């Protein structure tokens, strides 16, 4: 099982047809290329639950989701996951 290290990038966009912000989540590896996908979420609490699902603690998930909402772009450093886990989370083909 191959483990990949990298960052999780969360980009917040405000779209006119959406009632609130839209969060795009992507895995950005430290080196190499992967067939990465972006996960799109439309609610803040969905983002928190997604981050908990990818094995961040409750407090860390809330912290990063709050930063993403207020700052626009956030990189969560030092994420190490297997290819299977990234596929399970929808971050990789």
Per residue of the chain (93 residues), give pLDDT as tens.
789 999 999 999 988 887 889 999 999 999 888 888 999 999 999 999 999 999 999 999 999 999 999 999 999 999 999 999 999 999 998
pTM of the model: 0.90
Is the separation of the CB atoms in 65 and 51 below 8 Å? yes
Q: If DSSP codes are grouped into helix, strand and coil, which group holds residue 20?
A: coil
85, two tokens: 């886990």
Is the separation of the CB atoms in 45 and 23 below 8 Å? no
């Amino acid at each position: 099982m191959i483990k990949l290290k990298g960052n999780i990038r969360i980009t917040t966009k405000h779209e006119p047809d959406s009632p609130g912000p839209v969060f795009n989540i992507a895995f950005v590896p430290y080196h190499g290329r992967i067939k990465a996908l972006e996960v799109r979420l439309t609610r803040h609490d969905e983002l928190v639950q997604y981050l908990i699902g990818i094995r961040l603690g409750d407090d860390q998930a809330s912290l990063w989701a709050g930063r993403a909402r207020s700052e626009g772009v956030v990189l969560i450093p030092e994420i190490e996951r297997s290819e299977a886990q990234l596929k399970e989370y929808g971050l990789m083909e």
